[in-house]
């Protein structure tokens, strides 16, 4: 692996584990086992590191959020899709930790994060509209807008909420919990009956949590 990639990998791990404000470029250099001067050769300080990591995160999210949805998805497919979205966010979770503070200290990210929020909401709106057009959901236009806003909020703040509520929870448990709550917001509009959809996603949640526990026990 190239030194530049090793630096980015170590930076991401340290920022996620300890919080970006608690990690210095010297800490990162020590983690990679290079001199601070060598790190500076590749990245002229934390600003450059943050920018490079955000570009990687932004590209991953762009790919996921622009995935075409041409046919209505089953509950299992929707679960997997939102799991992938949450997983990408979890992999770069330091961006969401103390988000307002980070955007204040790195103002160059403001416009780009605003664009990401719009992409999240547009994706949620498109998915809800698609399900409505196929008769799976029964939603008015204003309900699509309101629900997509709530889903965007969940996709943005769920990890922080769970970090306070369950600080020792595993990543998969946190992510599956987020997916369950995202789909729970859709349940009231399920044309086949709210309880039917709620039962399906509750079973999915239980199965996924059990599977995650088995994987940890291996």
- Residue 3 sits in a domain whose CATH number is 1.10.10.60
Classify residue 67 by burial, with Cβ atoms within 10 Å: 0-12, 13-18, 19+: exposed
**pLDDT value, residue 98:** 85
Residues 136 and 205 in one domain: yes
Over residues 214-218, the mean pLDDT reads 75
Domain count along the chain? 2
Helices 110-133 and 46-65 cross at an angle (nearest 10°) of 10
Average model confidence (pLDDT) for the chain? 91
Predicted confidence (pLDDT) at residue 216 exceeds the cutoff of 80: no
Residues 24 and 116 in one domain: no
**pLDDT value, residue 134:** 86
Structure tokens at 127: 């998915």
Predicted confidence (pLDDT) at residue 140 exceeds the cutoff of 70: yes
49 part of a folded domain? no
Predicted confidence (pLDDT) at residue 215 exceeds the cutoff of 90: no
How far apart CA 202 and CA 184 sit, in angstroms, is 9
Residues 165 and 184 in one domain: yes
Q: What percent of the chain has pLDDT over 90?
A: 69
Q: H-type helices in 72-193, by residue range?
A: 75-91, 99-105, 110-133, 141-165, 171-186
Residues 28 and 81 in one domain: no
Domain CATH number, residue 211 = 1.10.357.10
**pLDDT value, residue 25:** 93
**pLDDT value, residue 157:** 94
Categorize the per-residue pLDDT at 217 as very low, low, confident or very high, splitting at 50, 70 and 90.
confident
**pLDDT value, residue 69:** 62
From the list 52, 44, 127, 50, the residue with the least C-alpha distance to 85 is 127
Give residues with Cβ within 8 angstroms of 182, minimum separation 6. 82, 151, 154, 155
Q: Tell me: the pLDDT tens digits for 23-68?
A: 999 999 999 999 999 999 999 989 999 999 999 999 999 999 887 6
């Amino acid at each position: 692996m190239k030194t530049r990639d090793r630096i980015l990998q170590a930076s991401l791990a340290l920022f996620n584990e300890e919080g970006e404000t608690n990690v210095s470029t010297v800490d990162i250099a020590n983690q990679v086992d290079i001199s601070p001067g060598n790190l500076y050769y590749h990245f002229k300080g934390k600003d450059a590191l943050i920018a490079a990591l955000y570009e990687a995160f932004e590209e991953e999210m762009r790919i996921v959020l622009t995935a075409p949805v041409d046919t209505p998805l089953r509950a299992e497919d929707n679960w997997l899709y939102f799991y992938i979205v949450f997983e990408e966010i979890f992999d770069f979770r330091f961006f969401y930790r103390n988000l307002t503070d980070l955007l204040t200290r790195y103002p160059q990210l403001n416009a780009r994060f605003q664009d990401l929020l719009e992409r999240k909401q547009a994706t949620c709106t498109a998915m809800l509209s698609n399900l409505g057009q196929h008769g799976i959901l029964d939603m008015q236009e204003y309900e699509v807008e309101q629900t997509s806003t709530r889903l965007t909020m969940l996709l943005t703040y769920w990890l922080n909420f769970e970090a306070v509520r369950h600080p020792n929870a595993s990543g998969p448990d946190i992510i599956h919990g987020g997916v369950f709550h995202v789909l729970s917001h859709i349940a009231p509009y399920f044309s086949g009956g709210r309880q039917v959809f709620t039962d399906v996603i509750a079973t999915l949640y239980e199965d996924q949590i059990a599977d995650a526990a088995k994987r940890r026990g291996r």
